[in-house]
Amino acid sequence: MSTLTSTAVTAEPPAVTGRRQPLHDWRPEDPDFWQTTGAPIARRNLWVSIFAEHVGFSVWSLWSVTVLFLGPAYGIDPAGKFLLTAVPAALGAVLRLPYTLAVARFGGRRWTIISALLLLVPAVPMTVLLEPGVSYSTLMVLACLTGVGGGNFASSMANINLFYPQRLKGRALGLNAGGGNLGVPAVQLVGLAVLATAGAAYPRLVPAVYLPLIVLAALAAARWLDTVPGARNEPGALREAARDPHTWVMSLLYIGTFGSFIGFGFAFGQVLQLQFAERFPTPVDAAWLTFLGPLIGSLIRPLGGHLADRLGGARVTFWNFVAMAAGASTVLYAARERSFGLYLAGFLALFVFSGIGNGSTYKMIPAIFRARAADSMASGQRDPEAAARWARRMTGALIGIAGAIGASGGVLVNIAFRQSFLSSGNADAAYLAFIGWYALCFVATWVVYRRPRAGRLANV
């Protein structure tokens, strides 16, 4: 997920021991080096990265469960609570690009330590200040600060991308992303445990649980992570990608997939309590279901990549958005008919298809530039080496931009719910907006990548 490249440095291979050794030589595309030295080091870095990113996602998602604790004593209406879940998504989206670039600037190991310790910035004051009487402006600042956890995903993906050969990047990045996404249901399960044991009077216990985990993530990074030598940010790659129309088409699609996942993950508990207040009179009643959607969406994400490998990314993405529009229509119908079972099924379907779409849209991006690189070789504009280098460069840049823009979808989802409840007292307008967005996405996928025409990109 980055514009990073790595220049191999030839030296004696580092000894592989249980202790972290400085890397002076890194050639993952060399089969002998990978088999004897590279693979064990890459696996060690992957598992530590998954843990650190998982904790980051959990901190980013803290307010998805914290708002369930904010009862009448806090004096916050539903519109105010939706703002509290929107601002972490906003900061997380803004930080994704600089966090991606920070890996080459500071080194993967060092930046993982720094980004883990930055999670203490929101977690410590939340542990101290969350109690009745705290001002709404203070809560807004605390909620915004948890957005630092959203940046961790970008730097973690950029770092792990450097460790693996091209043929294994998909699986490694899928594991890294999926492990991180599981931080959303994990923090909601922690919130459920606190609600069920200590009660709604102690919201500070949820961030308190993560204080030792944050420190452990930083210590694990210091102890077991490495920095790939020769990593550098591609000069001008982001500017070139920003001028490419495919960047904005794919960003639109990623708002629909990842934006839906993170937005619904943040808002689901609140929406349940508002939409079916008679079924969820207490926060713990809603918390029993809140984690299910993000859990399913996280676990299903690799299936999207697998289906895209077999059937084509654009085909899977197109039908996936059709399914998401159908899921949102089901939720709208169920909400109007007061059918809780159908409502829950429709919402869980939205989480399933947002997870599948996360995987399939990611698979489309390298396929787009492989196809364009092949066209440039066929026309004689680039030789094979230059074409492959350009495709990798543009793929990394587009993923970085689309990842940042896609995360902003979490803001849009929560703002849509807020405005809908403010204007009409229900979420119907929000569901109609989601249906419209998914329709725009499947039309864009068809027109740009699926419509039979001359010049259509092959195998996207």
Residues 181, 183, 186, CA angle at the centre, nearest 5°?
A: 130
CA 50, 51, 53, 54 dihedral sign is: positive
- Residue 138's CB is within 10 A of a number of other CB atoms, namely 12
| pLDDT reading at 76 higher than 60 | yes
Of the pLDDT bands very low, low, confident and very high (cuts 50, 70, 90), residue 20 is: low
Residue with tokens 């999207």: 304
Q: Which pLDDT score is estimated for 15? A: 42
Question: pTM value?
Answer: 0.85
Q: Which pLDDT score is estimated for 14? A: 42
Residue 296: which of 333, 339, 327, 337 has the closest Cα?
A: 327
Lowest mean pLDDT among 90-99, 121-130, 398-407, 421-430: 398-407
The three-state DSSP-derived secondary structure of 341-385 is HHHHHHHHHHHHHHHHHHHHHHHHHHHHHHHHHHHHHHCCCCCHH
Structure-block tokens of residue 395? 């793929």
> Residue 396: which region, alpha, beta or left (left: phi > 0; alpha: psi -120 to 50)?
alpha
Alpha-carbon span 401 to 361, nearest angstrom: 13
Q: Which pLDDT score is estimated for 161? A: 82
- Residue 211's CB is within 10 A of a number of other CB atoms, namely 15
Task: Give the tens place of pLDDT for each residue, 119-171.
Answer: 999 999 999 999 999 999 999 999 999 999 998 988 888 888 889 887 787 77
CA distances from 416 to 97, 122, 437 (A): 25, 26, 12
Helix (H) or strand (E) holding 78: helix 78-106
Of the pLDDT bands very low, low, confident and very high (cuts 50, 70, 90), residue 273 is: confident
Lowest mean pLDDT among 207-211, 232-236, 248-252: 232-236
Of the pLDDT bands very low, low, confident and very high (cuts 50, 70, 90), residue 28 is: confident
